[in-house]
Amino acid sequence: MCAFHIDDKTPKPRLSYEQLLRRFERETIARIEAEQLLETKSRELHRTNLALTKAAKVLEDHRRQLETTLDQTLLAILLVRKDGTIHHANKLAMKTFRLNEDYFAGLHVTDLFEEIIPESQWVKGDLSKVESLREIAVETTGKRTDGTTFPVEYAVSRTKLKGQQVSVWVARNITDRKDAEKRRQSLEAELRQAQKLESLGTLASGVAHEINTPIQYISDNVQFLKESFQDLIKFVKTSQDVVEALKKADPQAPEIQTYREQFKDLDLDFVLEEAPSALSQSLHGLQQVATIVKAIKEFSHPGSHKMSPVDINRAITTTLAVSRNQWKYACDVSLLLEDNLPSVMGLAGDINQVLLNLIVNAVDAIVEKDPQERGVVTLQTQKIHTDELGDAVEIRVTDTGTGIAPDVASRMFDPFFTTKAVGKGTGQGLAITYNIICTKHGGSIECQSPPGEGATFILRLPCQQERSEKEVRE
């Protein structure tokens, strides 16, 4: 219809009112729809915006939480670039390695760890799959930026950050654990030592019993022989006189000849002279054996785990008797033991062990100074009274050996500290000594070593152990 008239120059036919009305309605509807759409869209936009803000906040929260966690964690965490330089360190890592924000940018992991595990051993993937650090950890020495070191344990895992390969280094300062391990080891060593002494003691008292019985009858027999021999000598002398008398009466008597020949064959002059001293020496030797057996029995004191009165002077002579072989070639022993020394309440076996340690140390120092020259070990005891200990016994062990350097003196009571060659000392002796005297007996120990003059160990043991208990009760 009208479309057929497009090419016509004829004006368009005017729209009818109805037509206009319809168009207007149509347009109105379209606008309303458009506006509705706009509103919906802008509402959607607003919602999205809200969600995004919220998400951003959650993310920020997470980030902060993560950072706080990382900073508060008991592990030092380092993010390390592929070239080994430090990218990021958490607070504890900063503290552990004494890092400085401005400074660590140029640091390399090798500046922080003594030993770096090869990359092939790094954990692939994330660390969360590893149940504990110990499973994969490497123990080495950590190096602080100020040059000090500490025992450290660390593990490495690999991950990607912004497309870059990075590694996460998780480290822990294990000084406390190492110390605890050391303490445990030293306790174990002490226990082993105690067990060794205990079994030695049990063995010794068994052996002592076995030896004492034969010593009893050998001594009795030798004593008997000695007495009998003295009687025999008397008798032989008398018979010699008789022979002389007979000779005067009848010089040619064949019996006299036989007597003289036998006297000569038996070398009786020699026998008469030597036999008594042979027997005396044997008795003396037996006495020595008996003394040593007794000393070993007393020294080891099997089964004395409770405090009882200990005679320190006796403990010293006993310990010297047992350790004679260790000192007799190197030094002389000088004893300055106070008479009427009060006894101390203590564990005799432990105190003997302390004395043995100190004597052996003194002898070692003497030999170290000059293996050719004989030194002197002086053992001195005296009764003292101090405010801390009350009545006490002081033991001084002085040697003429190498003396103790000040840097050694400050560490010598540490467990496992030794200046002796590998295999020569366990480093346990003085630590055990310290523990026995100070911890178990409430005493004190100190060492004086003026340069070039040998060393003196001064031990003080209180006479009464129950003093403190009494005071508490009163």
- For another protein, the binding residues (CB under 8 A) are 205, 208-221, 223-224, 227, 286, 290, 294, 297-298, 303, 306-309, 314, 343, 466, 469-470, 472-473
Residue closest to 392 by CA, chosen among 358, 343, 440, 319: 343
What the block records as the tokens of 387 is 């405010």
Distance of alpha carbon 351 from alpha carbon 368, whole angstroms? 26
CB of 439 to another protein, least distance (A): 20
Please identify, using beta-carbon distances, which residue of 9 and 473 lies nearer to another protein: 473
Distance of alpha carbon 381 from alpha carbon 334, whole angstroms? 12
Please identify, using beta-carbon distances, which residue of 88 and 440 lies nearer to another protein: 440
Please identify, using beta-carbon distances, which residue of 430 and 463 lies nearer to another protein: 463
3 state SS of 77:
strand
Distance of alpha carbon 386 from alpha carbon 391, whole angstroms? 7
Please identify, using beta-carbon distances, which residue of 346 and 403 lies nearer to another protein: 346
What the block records as the tokens of 242 is 């008789």
User: CB-based contacts of 69: which residues, under 8 Å, 6+ apart?
Assistant: none
CB of 200 to another protein, least distance (A): 14
Please identify, using beta-carbon distances, which residue of 157 and 318 lies nearer to another protein: 318
CB of 211 to another protein, least distance (A): 8
Do 322 and 355 meet the contact criterion of CB atoms below 8 Å apart?
no
CB of 222 to another protein, least distance (A): 9
Do 108 and 88 meet the contact criterion of CB atoms below 8 Å apart?
no
Please identify, using beta-carbon distances, which residue of 90 and 205 lies nearer to another protein: 205
CB of 208 to another protein, least distance (A): 7
User: CB-based contacts of 186: which residues, under 8 Å, 6+ apart?
Assistant: 415, 416, 428, 431
CB of 352 to another protein, least distance (A): 13
For 242, counting Cβ atoms within 10 Å of its Cβ (0-12 exposed, 13-18 middle, 19+ buried), the class is: exposed
> Pairing mode, if any, of strands 375-386 and 331-337?
parallel
Distance of alpha carbon 439 from alpha carbon 388, whole angstroms? 14
Do 142 and 151 meet the contact criterion of CB atoms below 8 Å apart?
yes
CB of 438 to another protein, least distance (A): 22
Amino acid symbol at 244: E
Please identify, using beta-carbon distances, which residue of 141 and 308 lies nearer to another protein: 308
